[in-house]
Amino acid sequence: MENLPSGVRSRRVSTERIETHLLESGADGGVAVVFVHGNVSSSRFFAETLAALPDAYHGIALDLRGFGHSETAPVDATRGVGDYADDVIALLDALGIDRAHLVGWSVGGAVIQQIAVSAPQRVASLTLSAPMSPFGFGGTRDVDGNPCYDDWAGTGGGTANPDFVARLGSGDRTADADTSPRSIMRAFYFKPPFALEAEREDAYVDAMLTTATVPGSYPGDMTTSANWPTVAPGARGVNNAISGRYCDLSGFADVEPRPPVLWVRGADDQVVSDTSFFDFGFLGQVGAVPGWPGAEAFPAQPMIAQTRAVLDRYVANGGRYQEEVLADCGHSPHIEHPERFLALLLSHIA
């Protein structure tokens, strides 16, 4: 892999589930810190974080199935993010790591919470960076994650912008349209006018373009619905896996043992937010999607409030968490405020 920071290495590892690509830094046998990326991204978004880790840590950033340079295997969305979580556990097994500090960004935050539910003994700590709501993405009306419609209309594979998907599939590296991967990254992964140097931005765009758009991967299949906005989840692919129809991580509040949790988010995040520009409830509210049935039927998803509600239950059960809100920051705290993010992470895992 080209253009990696000094000290960061690339390799592929065969596991019992899939062939997994990872980036790593530090020495084998160091304190393991595992980074899990989000949707339409890859381990490359963590390369600079890996390079900045002290030598005492063995930093590992993996590519989830269908992203980066890992095997493209279909995602069984009916398991929520279970396929991804099991892939990470299988990688830990292959590397001989019994227990690790887990860092999850966006959808990766849901993945590491699922690992804590499935295999709590493998988790030393959790760092949730701009994490997806524990009740999935879109289609819920309250802090308890109740759906707007029984068929979970407005979530799943049919919610992805078709032109964006087409541009991913064609390898579009331009900024010629608002729906190009580069334009989406500039507008929503970061808080404008945040800008990267050209070489690093190119590396991140290339990482986005590794997203597999074949059936079973991104965004996934869909079904039609009589309810607004007329699309509902299918059974395969990443956007279906993060639909609340299948993804419910409220059980994280009852995990035992209870690792400490650091929750870091940007104050200006437009992706994971109570006013998310990727949530049909909010898009309907602002007139971006016609036919919105109103706030009584389909309100904006209270994503931040939902996360806080589950973490507060975690505390009531004996756990603990620290919430840090970074000013002048969008959806990527580890990139937009790398020194602050690293300081918070190292203090947390120490």
- Whether the Cβ atoms of residue 335 and residue 207 lie closer than 8 Å to each other: no
**Which residues, in sequence order, are CB contacts of 206 under 8 Å at separation 6+?**
44, 173
Closest CA to 342 of 326, 320, 321, 318: 326
| Structure token pair of residue 236 | 């395969």
Classify domain 9-349 at the CATH class level. Answer: alpha beta
- What are the backbone dihedrals phi and psi of residue 315, each rounded to the nearest 5 degrees, phi first? -65, -45
Closest CA to 168 of 189, 186, 154, 182: 182
- What are the backbone dihedrals phi and psi of residue 74, each rounded to the nearest 5 degrees, phi first? -65, 150
Query: Of all residues in the chain, what percent carry a pLDDT higher than 90?
Result: 99
What integer pLDDT is reported at residue 247 of this predicted model? 98
Report the alpha-carbon distance of residue 211 to residue 229 in Å, rounded. Answer: 26
Work out whether strand 31-36 and strand 19-25 pair parallel, antiparallel, or are unpaired. unpaired
| Average pLDDT for the chain | 97
Return the SS3 of 68. Answer: coil
What integer pLDDT is reported at residue 2 of this predicted model? 66
Provide mean pLDDT across the span 329-338: 98
What integer pLDDT is reported at residue 139 of this predicted model? 98
pLDDT tens, residue by residue, 189-227: 999 999 999 999 999 999 999 999 999 999 999 999 999
pLDDT tens, residue by residue, 117-175: 999 999 999 999 999 999 999 999 999 999 999 999 999 999 999 999 999 999 999 99
Calculate the CA dihedral of residues 222, 225, 230, 235 and round it to 10 degrees.
-20
pLDDT at 1 > cutoff 90: no
What integer pLDDT is reported at residue 94 of this predicted model? 98
pLDDT tens, residue by residue, 238-280: 999 999 999 999 999 999 999 999 999 999 999 999 999 999 9
Provide mean pLDDT across the span 39-52: 98
* Type of residue at 88: V
Question: Is residue 309 very low, low, confident or very high in pLDDT (cuts 50, 70, 90)?
Answer: very high
Query: Of all residues in the chain, what percent carry a pLDDT higher than 70?
Result: 99
Report the alpha-carbon distance of residue 334 to residue 106 in Å, rounded. Answer: 12
Provide mean pLDDT across the span 55-77: 98
Cis peptide before 181 (omega within 30 of 0): no
- Whether the Cβ atoms of residue 204 and residue 197 lie closer than 8 Å to each other: no
What integer pLDDT is reported at residue 3 of this predicted model? 85
Q: 């006018």: which residue's tokens?
A: 193
**E runs forming strands in the chain:** 9-14, 19-25, 31-36, 57-62, 100-105, 123-129, 222-224, 231-233, 261-266, 321-326
